[in-house]
Structures are given as structure tokens and as C-alpha cells.
Amino acid sequence: MKASPSDQRLLLEIQAIDTNDRQLAYASDHLPETELITSLAAELSTSSADFIARQGIVEDARTEIDRIESDISVVQQRLVLDEERASHSSNAKDVQALEAEIASLKTRRENLEEMELEVMQRLEDAEKSLAELHSARASVEAELAANEDAREKRQSEISAERAQLASTREQLVRRIPTDLLALYEKQRDRYGIGAALLTRGISGGSGVTLSETDLSKIRAAAEDDVIMCPDSSCILVRTEESGL
């Protein structure tokens, strides 16, 4: 294939754009925020069951306190009623029975109040534990949101950069002969690189110094011959830097 040296040099600009675009695409898919977001989301998911469990403990303690207070209220009402009946009764046996019941009710009330104090302590501990986990989760949620915003911003920047590259590439493509561009695209699709500069005998496609036999063939080639790299199979572009 024949192509003017200037057209071949344009391939280097296209290749630089394609390499940059590939790097940007990789960067977009491997942003450090993405890994951190995954880790933070997993942390929230793991602590979610614990948070629900702690909420349950708090709710159970509050329900138990309500039940105890209801029992205390019933005992207190019965106590007031018995004390009133005892104060107005003239029957010694009735008074004795009421006094025994009053003593039993007071014991029951004391036991319930002790139970209430114990449950209130459990409730206080459970609320503290729940608050600590809530605070920890809020911190993780804030960090997660910040990283999601940072990732979105960086991905938006990358998209803008890639759009600019695509625009520049489109302008360059219009200047390159169709057959030369087709060969470039074919080699790039197959081998990952379509064109590279030959610099002081070293192929930019493979990073390897070409053999003297290969270099002799390149020296003998016409200026407008399209040369293929024997190692990387990309189009090897010659310039003053090639050292031929």
C-alpha cells in the first residue's frame, strides 16, 4: 500500500487519541471511588440487620415498661381501694384480710417497680447502643454519598474529555485516505495498536529494536510505502526520528 508520509504521520495523532481514549475508558471503569463505594455499601448492608435487631431490643424494652407500668397502675388502684375499705370496715376479720392483701399488694408493687428499674436500665443501654450504631451508619452514609458525588463528577469529566477526543479524531479522519484508515482500524482491532513511530530503530508498537535485516528493508522502501512492524503488526511510521 502507498500513502504519503504526511498522511502516515496523521495516523500517529489518531493512535495517540485512541490510546488516550482507551486509558480514559479504563479509568472510568476503575475509579478508586467505585471500589470504596462498593465497600461502604457492603458495610451498610452488613450493619442493617444489626440495626434492625437493636431497634427491636429498644421497642421490646419500651413495650415491657408499658406493661409493667400498667400492672403497677392496676395494683395501685386495688391498693387504694383496699386501704379505703379497711379504713371504713368495723369487722375485725375483714380488716385483717384486707391488711394481708394490702401487704401483698405493696410487695407486688415493689417487685414491679424493681422490675421496671431493671428494664429501664436495659432500655437506656439499648438506646445508647442503637444511637452509636445510628451515628456510625450516618457517617458511612455521608462518606458513601460523598464518594458517589465524586465518582459522578469524575465520570462526567471523563465523558467530556472523551467527547472532545472523538471530535478531534473525527476531524483528523476526514484527512486520511480511506484505504489507509481502514488498514489502521483493522490492525488496531486485531492487535490493540494500529500505528506507531519508528524511533532510532526501535518500534513504538513492540518496544523492540528491529533487526538489521528488517531495518535494511525499511531503508530500501520508498518514502510513501506503508511499512508494517514485523513484531507488533502495526503500521510503522517513519520520520526524522527513525534514525534510518
Quick one: residue 201, left, alpha or beta (phi over 0 = left, psi -120 to 50 = alpha)?
A: left
Q: What pLDDT is stored for residue 98 in this prediction?
A: 83
Residues 243/14, Cβ–Cβ less than 8 Å: no
Show pLDDT as tens, one digit a residue, over the chain (244 residues). 999 999 999 999 999 999 999 999 999 999 999 999 999 999 999 999 999 999 999 999 999 999 999 999 999 999 999 888 888 877 878 778 888 999 999 999 999 999 999 999 999 999 999 999 999 999 999 999 999 999 999 999 999 999 999 999 999 999 999 999 999 999 999 999 999 999 999 999 999 999 999 999 999 999 999 999 999 999 999 998 887 7
pLDDT 10s digits, 206-226: 999 999 999 999 999 999 999
Q: Which triple of cell numbers denotes residue 131?
A: 444511637
CA angle in degrees (0–180, nearest 5) for 169-173-176: 145
- Determine what percent of the chain is predicted with pLDDT higher than 70: 100
- CA-nearest of 129, 2, 149, 10 to 58 is 129
Cell 428494664 appears where?
119
Please give the full DSSP string across 23-74, using - where no structure is assigned.
HHHHHHHT-HHHHHHHHHHHHHHHHHHHHHHHHHHHHHHHHHHHHHHHHHHH
pLDDT 10s digits, 115-139: 999 999 999 999 999 999 999 999 9
Q: What structural domains and CATH numbers belong to the chain?
A: 5-24+177-242 (no CATH), 31-173 (1.10.287.1490)
Handedness of CA 83, 87, 90, 96 (dihedral sign): positive
pLDDT 10s digits, 87-97: 887 787 877 88
Q: What pLDDT is stored for residue 87 in this prediction?
A: 82
- CA-nearest of 192, 198, 208 to 228 is 198
Which helix (DSSP H) or strand (DSSP E) does residue 202 occupy?
Answer: strand 202-203
